[in-house]
Chains A and B, each alone.
Chain A
Amino acid sequence: MEANEISVPMKILVALLFLFLLAPVILVVPISFSGEQILSFPPESWSLRWYAALADNPKIISAFWTSLVLGAVVTVISLAVAIPAAYVIVRMRTFGSAFLYNLFTAPLLLPTIVLGLAILIVFASMGFLGTFTGLVIGHLVITLPYALRVLATTLGNLNLACEEAASTLGGRPITVFRRVTLPMMAPGIVAATALCFLVSFDEVVITLFLTGPRLTTLPVELFHHVESRADPLVASVSVLLILLTLAVVMIVDRTVGLSRTFVK
């Protein structure tokens, strides 16, 4: 008998555990087509009424646009700030590169509930609460560590010979960076872009502390909705969100390969 042969009871057990793991995500799909007034499963009637209700909900639509614009702005700034930082830390290796790398990725070690409260208290005195600027800075605190990590790893794995050849052939440092290093970093940049956007779009705990009555993001709006009532509306938003995430993941998969981005 071979030891690594998987027995039938084990296969059944693993299948059931996978069902447990995926059940809440799978369940929102049928619920989103419910014709009922309240959240129930299985629904007694089917309809598209909750997708229609979504189109008629100005709060959710405006929160969605805020999240989308916020995610885009945060992603662009994250790349613009993290690429030079990664270059200095990995390539120039000046004063305390390792220390700076640890310092700039440290926000990921703090629980978001603690970080959110800490940012709330400081931002309150700066007048950043409930403002778009406040949300951008709050999100940058957690997207920058991810961006820096992915970009520093990419840069560290690049073949130095190409850059050395380019500078030996007379390329000025800025030209070498623009024409050689940056194109070679493309897969890392795509991965960092996707990661920053998804992290910003999904962030809810820190955002909860920073939003105001007039400015809110989609996850925060969904949180307040689920907190106050149980209807199938959130299921229809969830299905659209899952499709959006799938689209982002597929774009990354097509351009750089999924395993290189999320699995490793």
Chain B
Amino acid sequence: MTAISAPAAPAAPSLALGRTGTATVLLLPIAIINTIGFILPVLNLARMSFNEALTGGGVREAFTLANWAGLFADSFYVELILNSITVSLGITLATLVVSYPIALYLHRSSGRWRTVLTVLVISPLLTSAVVRTYGWIALLSEQGPIASSIAAVGLTPPRLMFNTTGVVIGLTEILMPYMILSLLAGFGRLDPRVEEAAMTLGAPPAKTFWRVILPLTLPGIALGCLLCFVLAVSSFITPKLLGGGRVFLLATEIYDQAIVTLNWPLAATLSMLVLIIFGAALAAYARVLRAIE
């Protein structure tokens, strides 16, 4: 908690209310909003996953494990869960591969050049995911530059959109800034002198990379992968638009169950499942970090 590290407090406002009273009054607005918009909804969501769904969008107050049991009994949902995890792992790996060289380059560059490139890395974060996904639709569609280039050399272009390929390409790019920033944050221990030492001692570049650079940057890799995995599992806009309703993932299914089918108990159960996957990812991350140390 470095963010709030003030030493002794100066004289606090001592109105008629007294110190604790003043603090309570000042905290009341944020506490009310947090309760209405966060605590109540999340508790209610957990509760909803044990309710009974009636046909036609009704909900009956109950305490049943039917939603949970239903998920694991229905092969559609088992596949959906496994597919979400596999696709998210694939996206995480792809994002790592395309982000690592940029992060390494940024780490080694300096001065004005470094600032310009860092702004370029951050700038997509300031652009709406809808806009960036729309850009990918333009790039990957049948009239797009990639398909027409492939057709121009006489080959049949593969389907790049409305399938998992499109979702993976789009999300990889969307998650790159997060990965690059996480990698950079973890590159602190990477000292150019260590690389020089390895090369002076006769290690070829490839060996220097695998034996020196990569191990030193593992903490950054673990952090970036954790972040990208959880963001991929829960991302909705890009899979929905680039998947065109043909790619079934946890997040898109939560939305469909909540808005289209109106099966709130099932949507709530799927949401709790996303949180469980988050917890598992976090536990795996903690374990990896301990192994690195």
Contacts and interface: CB of A to CB of B under 8 A. Distances in A.
Note whether A and B form a binding pair. yes
A10 B192 contact: no
Interface residues of A, number: 103
B71 interface: no
The DSSP consensus for interface residues of chain B is helix
B89 interface: no
Nearest 9 Cβ contacts at the A-B interface: A24-B135, A111-B234, A118-B41, A3-B195, A141-B37, A84-B26, A173-B13, A4-B192, A40-B143
B196 A2 contact: yes
The DSSP consensus for interface residues of chain A is helix
A54 interface: no
A39 B105 CA distance: 35
A28 interface: yes
A190 interface: no
Interface in A133-175: 137-138, 140-141, 144, 148-149, 152-153, 155-156, 160, 163-164, 167, 173-174
B3 A25 contact: no
B122 A263 contact: yes
Contacts of B117: 18
Contacts of B198: 3
Interface in A177-233: 177, 198, 202, 204-205, 208-209, 219, 222-223, 226-227, 230
Interface of A: 1-4, 6, 10-11, 13-14, 17-18, 20-28, 31, 38-42, 80-82, 84-85, 87-95, 97-98, 100-101, 103-104, 106-107, 110-115, 117-123, 137-138, 140-141, 144, 148-149, 152-153, 155-156, 160, 163-164, 167, 173-174, 176-177, 198, 202, 204-205, 208-209, 219, 222-223, 226-227, 230, 234-235, 238, 241-242, 245, 249, 258-259, 262-263
A41 B14 CA distance: 65
Contacts of A155: 4, 6
A249 B34 CA distance: 28
Nearest to A28: B135
A32 B177 CA distance: 25
Interface residues of B, number: 98
A12 B278 CA distance: 37
Interface string B27-48: 1011001101110111011001
A118 B254 CA distance: 11
